[in-house]
Chains A and B, each alone.
Chain A
């Protein structure tokens, strides 16, 4: 005979003000099988939990129903209380009297009646609950970090320094990401490369880090603690073990006019190249699409120049499979090109450039060695216009969000320009200045007050060329929207920060969610900012949303600490809400007929095949078996099984029907 205890919580006034809790408890007490029913103001409080524990011991309860808030809120609390009193925690169920009843209905008899119905359903369910034990899952203590920008570097170093193995995968020939391209960083104006390159070297030399550059994630299978990643190491066409990075091949390369990605198209590179002198690893790759040999079958100048015979024209992509326990996604961002803006010349004016291109102009390692010279004629611009919100906050262009970093880097650009071109004048057209952050507002004010950058509040409607000048047509909304025209020599657009072009593809590969702008979604915007909805996958940096370096580094360290925390245990425990295929005594063995429709239906590859063999080893039948560490408990296989051989633990068909029939 079941002995069920029912505990009705007032949740202060949340339930108590709308539902007659005492009446619910009384009604519950009359239900068949219920031997104990009480109500209390705060059931989740210490005295409330004691009520439950005492009742379990004294009344020898075989099941507990708590009528309170959502199980998402306090199911773990009450199950723990039950476990402490010696009752299997999975024999405790919650009737949601708050979200499902008191919060959504007016006070009244009908509302109380609904609460009673909800409790009755759960009582019928809990009578059919069976004790379950949590599933234990082993952990592979190795992390995979995707992306070798500052986010990936920080996460990899933090995990590695916590004593765990890390595999860092970067798709470009060198790690460093966008941060390596920046000149100086706001708000301190310290040199980006100076603070980044030591970290890059640390990554390369760290005994716990395996670095795969010029590589991409091919696929990711498995689940938390037990992922299997396949990584495609793209053919560098150079034997890394032989190459010394001397650069002789680069000097000899016949192709010299390829736009350099690292210099945002403002500089040139060869077909066999190292993206920048401080690259890690400092070993070249051959850009096969641009290489003369791959195009015409002749050349091989690099091979002749190489003193160590490291060039490998016949090298092929290599697939590497690695088992990892956790993944940190730090794949970064992209910026809109100037061609995105018809009104600003459609990318046809050479002297209309992006913020990232200006970074290269201002950088000491850039194509102009840090002198501000405009691309068209290499002249020093005497009048420069910066346009903030180029594409950002522009729903008509499909981007409604604020790119967050432009206000600050535009102030920095204008400041750097003023420091480098003393007789020049910088203008900034802006909508708002968003300078939230330590020393950020002060930084922007410095640009205005000390460097006399002319800030004009208004959007630029158009840029056109006239007599060798770029006419920037804007407006000053602080002067009753008076039109302002500036004849500029160089225009810098703070173009919107966007997700990587293949962010969606990556998200689908990882089975993680992403938003309408293709930025990856964190599990909770406030309380779980570094985790993703798929357990064991974490996120850091601008692939999640536009953010600056300090925030990126903070998030990367956060993700790393989550990984390290996970790796501090030897195994994970998870809820046993998984599907099971029934087993019967011989000669039935199981009602499963082995059609394997479930195998096709399962989204998580959790269905395996099990061979039932006799004592002599002869095969009797092959039936389905659920890998409980992979199963997510979605129930798709249960619904599809034609012989009703699969059931979901904790939510069996029997339990659910009993719940419904109680209504």
Chain B
């Protein structure tokens, strides 16, 4: 028996959407700050993890947009220290994951997160293609997406010499299964049962 979560202006708020999509209630958070205290990236974030939840809880005009446009949701490493330690058992990475999708869907992703987003996309592209990570493919597509052509090129010969980079991609045996995973995720983007990165 939960009361409806409404925006200050009466429209459904992001907190409600989070609950519907992930099953997680941001109202469980009591703002102790343990998540932020343990977050390895909190210092780099524009909004600390507990503040992301706080904005969702308060739901005043502009607060939902602030969350979706924040850099924090993209900086999250999904290391899950926050949720492991949370006394109220709020699954923050799960919420963050959904916030990334929603941010993408609305086209409001933080501009500083462009490279991170490009990396995510390039990573998924190689998985889609071969069923497993192909480093050279990942690097190439990432560089083409971001035009960071010369970044880290000097380490390439060393890695090649040690056999860490293979020029040609491998294809795994169950590639068809991987393909199906992608298809299903893309068909039902908001289904909480699927936790894949939709980028």
One of A442-450, A586-594, A625-633 at the interface: A442-450
Cβ contact within 8 Å between B55 and A452 = no
In the complex, what's the smallest C-beta–C-beta distance from A478 to chain B, in angstroms? 5
Interface membership of A661, Cβ < 8 A: no
A476 and chain B: residue at smallest CB distance: B58
Interface membership of A513, Cβ < 8 A: no
Interface membership of B2, Cβ < 8 A: yes
Q: Secondary structure at chain A's binding surface: helix, strand, loop or mixed? A: mixed
Residues of B within 8 A of A454 (CB): 57-59
Question: Contact check: which of B4, B28, B31, B51 meets A449 at CB < 8 Å?
Answer: B28
C-alpha spacing A494/B4, complex, angstroms: 25
Interface membership of A425, Cβ < 8 A: yes
C-alpha spacing A423/B7, complex, angstroms: 11
Given the interface contacts A445-B30, A484-B60, does A452 sit within 8 Å of B5 by beta carbon? yes
Residues of B within 8 A of A479 (CB): 51, 54-55, 58
Interface membership of B25, Cβ < 8 A: yes
Within 8 A of A (CB), among B140-166: none
Within 8 A of B (CB), among A579-629: none
C-alpha spacing A425/B58, complex, angstroms: 11
A444 and chain B: residue at smallest CB distance: B30
Residues of A within 8 A of B50 (CB): 478
C-alpha spacing A608/B178, complex, angstroms: 106
Interface membership of B79, Cβ < 8 A: no
Interface membership of A451, Cβ < 8 A: yes
Question: Contact check: which of A452, A478, A480, A484 meets B31 at CB < 8 Å?
Answer: A478
Interface membership of A542, Cβ < 8 A: no
A433-461 Cβ-contact flags toward B at 8 Å (1 or 0): 00000000000010011111010110000
Residues of B within 8 A of A422 (CB): 3-4
Interface membership of B170, Cβ < 8 A: no
In the complex, what's the smallest C-beta–C-beta distance from A382 to chain B, in angstroms? 8
Cβ contact within 8 Å between B25 and A449 = yes
Residues of B within 8 A of A452 (CB): 2-5, 27
Interface membership of B6, Cβ < 8 A: yes
Interface membership of B1, Cβ < 8 A: yes
Within 8 A of A (CB), among B1-50: 1-6, 8, 25, 27-28, 30-31, 50
Cβ contact within 8 Å between A448 and B27 = yes
Interface membership of A418, Cβ < 8 A: yes
C-alpha spacing A451/B31, complex, angstroms: 17
C-alpha spacing A452/B2, complex, angstroms: 7
Residues of B within 8 A of A476 (CB): 54, 58
Within 8 A of B (CB), among A467-514: 476, 478-480, 484, 486
C-alpha spacing A425/B8, complex, angstroms: 8
B59 and chain A: residue at smallest CB distance: A454
A477 and chain B: residue at smallest CB distance: B31
Further pairs besides A451-B3, A454-B57, A478-B50: 6, Cβ < 8 Å: A422-B3, A445-B30, A454-B59, A476-B54, A479-B55, A486-B8
The 7 closest A-B pairs by CB, nearest first: A452-B3, A449-B27, A478-B31, A478-B54, A451-B3, A418-B3, A449-B28
